[in-house]
Amino acid sequence: MLFPFIFWGSLELYENTDALAVVRALRPDEPITLLRPHAATRAARFFVEKFQGKSLYAVKANPSPALLELLWNAGITHFDVASLGEVRLVNKFLPDAKLCFMHPVKSERAISQAYHNHGVRTFSLDSRDELEKIVRATNGATDLELCVRIRVSSEHAKLSLASKFGADPSEVADLLVATRQVADALGICFHVGSQAMTPAAFSEAMEHVRAAIVQASVTVDIVDVGGGFPSVYPGMEPPPLESYFDVIHNAFEDLPISYSAELWCEPGRALCAEYASLLVRVEKRRGNELYINDGAYGSLFDAAHVGWRFPVQLQRSDTSIGTQMAEFSFYGPTCDDMDHMVGPFVLPDDIQAGDYIEVGMLGAYGCAMRTEFNGFGETETVVVEDEPMATLYSRSAANDIGVTNRHALVSKK
Ligand SMILES: *Cc1c(COP(=O)(O)O)cnc(C)c1O
């Protein structure tokens, strides 16, 4: 028997907890977020030990203070923040963290406050206007690290980040020269798009970096390859992360830059996707449509709006789960037709109202996007100790980096 107790608004259960234990102990009426601290720690250790440079955590992927602290304790010291709100948040919980303000379009007030009140020295930009704004807002500071964001293709990524930001190739050289004149350290950064399915995304982007450096003939101190490192989802199984690192390390070695230049990356998804899953209840079945108690306006934004297929598993406390599987779509709890997730989500054919489903891999861009639309959106969190539904941090990778936590080495069911 498990006895839950309330701890700072989150529930903690004793020993060996997994999703099914939570169903048995609580039979929750509301969706529950299941947290796997060991998975986030493992991901962070992997980046810290295998990426030959600095790994900045992209806070927007999941800004939960508990996660920030876990990552810090695992060796992540730099944080990619995109707003003054994120600057304040990380500063509050991790006062010694180094913050890099990597949104290329900021308000002057945000830059000024970040610089003067929160010690931020690193900013990205993709235009002359933004460069002038940074110079004005910092009163012509001489200790700035400025990263020029260049536009690269998103063709290998599942979510494009190519149209909104990034200096055009025709403007990059001038912008690099102008930025060099006011920057203490000059960087070049890019983002290949989220969930990049092949390391080639990075080798191609690094060719643009090379061309820009050659064309501008400037000394570059930082090369920041951005985010885009993948996680695993149904139908989206990327090659091992090491192969991404190899491609990046090799391309970095070949750049015309000094030996003291630094290599940075900004993983969001890859560091936190495995950190959380969601336990939802089926409230109604209509044919192969399941009405569940979380959806497009909760943690399942991407499932609804970009058709992302998250892994699902029935968590039924008796053992009578049928073996016949079927494909389902989901409706979320709000009154909006758009609160619909096409999936398909593969589940036992005998699933019915009252059953619980665990939706996996929601640590990145899941919990972070929850709203309170229609009065829904409140969820408890429970720390569990089992494995996430999928992992990019395999047994061998875990052994390599000396993960001795027993939970890291058992695979799920
Ligand atoms: C969103 C974002 C990231 C993180 O991207 P992932 O695909 O989650 O790794 C990193 N850097 C910048 C500038 C971003 O906007």
Determine if ligand 1 sits within 6 Å of the CB of residue 228. yes
Atom from ligand 1 closest to the CA of residue 227: 9
Nearest Cα residue to atom 3 of ligand 1? 227
Instruction: Tell me the three state secondary structure of residue 83.
Output: coil
Determine if ligand 1 sits within 6 Å of the CB of residue 102. yes
Confirm if 373 and 344 have CB atoms less than 8 A apart.
no
How far is CA 140 from each of CA 111, 129, 346, rounded to the nearest angstrom? 12, 15, 57
Confirm if 229 and 191 have CB atoms less than 8 A apart.
no
Atom from ligand 1 closest to the CA of residue 103: 13
Q: At 411, is the pLDDT very low, low, confident or very high (cuts 50, 70, 90)?
A: very low
Q: How many Å lie between the centroid of ligand 1 and the Cα of residue 236?
A: 18
**What is the DSSP track for 214-249?**
HHHT----EEE--S-----BTTB-PPPHHHHHHHHH
Determine if ligand 1 sits within 6 Å of the CB of residue 61. yes
Report pLDDT digits (tens) over 68-98: 999 999 999 999 999 999 999 999 999 999 9
User: In whole angstroms, what is the distance from residue 92 CA to residue 88 CA?
Assistant: 6
Whether the ω angle into residue 344 lies within 30 degrees of 0, i.e. cis, is yes
Dihedral angle over CA of 376, 380, 381, 382, nearest 10:
-130
Instruction: Tell me the three state secondary structure of residue 89.
Output: helix
- Residue 13 is predicted with a pLDDT of 54
How far is CA 226 from each of CA 57, 62, 134, rounded to the nearest angstrom? 10, 16, 21
User: In whole angstroms, what is the distance from residue 342 CA to residue 328 CA?
Assistant: 8
| Strand ranges for 177-303 from DSSP E | 185-189, 194-196, 222-224, 262-265, 276-286, 289-292
Q: At 378, is the pLDDT very low, low, confident or very high (cuts 50, 70, 90)?
A: confident
In the block, tokens 């599987």 appear at 325
Q: How many Å lie between the centroid of ligand 1 and the Cα of residue 298?
A: 21
- Encoded tokens for 283: 């409230």
Q: How many Å lie between the centroid of ligand 1 and the Cα of residue 289?
A: 33
Question: Which of 71, 194, 197, 275 maximizes ligand 1 atoms within 8 Å of its Cβ, making it the mutation to test the pocket?
Answer: 194
Atom from ligand 1 closest to the CA of residue 195: 7
Confirm if 176 and 210 have CB atoms less than 8 A apart.
no
Domains of the chain, residue spans: 2-36+276-383, 102-267
User: In whole angstroms, what is the distance from residue 238 CA to residue 222 CA?
Assistant: 27
Report pLDDT digits (tens) over 108-167: 999 999 999 999 999 999 999 999 999 999 999 999 999 999 999 899 999 888 888 999
- Residue among 67, 92, 70 at smallest CA distance from 362: 67
Q: At 60, is the pLDDT very low, low, confident or very high (cuts 50, 70, 90)?
A: very high
Q: Radius of gyration (Cα) for the chain, nearest Å?
A: 22
User: Cα 138 from chain centroid?
Assistant: 30
Output the CATH code of domain 102-267. Answer: 3.20.20.10
User: In whole angstroms, what is the distance from residue 287 CA to residue 135 CA?
Assistant: 60
Nearest Cα residue to atom 5 of ligand 1? 227
Report yes or no on whether pTM surpasses 0.95: no
Q: How many Å lie between the centroid of ligand 1 and the Cα of residue 364?
A: 11
> Which H or E run contains 98?
strand 98-101
Determine if ligand 1 sits within 6 Å of the CB of residue 366. no
Options 3.40.630.30, 2.40.110.10, 2.40.37.10, 3.90.1200.10; which CATH number does 2-36+276-383 get? 2.40.37.10
Report pLDDT digits (tens) over 170-192: 999 999 999 999 999 999 999 99
Determine if ligand 1 sits within 6 Å of the CB of residue 194. yes
**Do the domains spanning 2-36+276-383 and 102-267 agree at the CATH topology level?**
no
Determine if ligand 1 sits within 6 Å of the CB of residue 133. no
**DSSP code of residue 293:** S
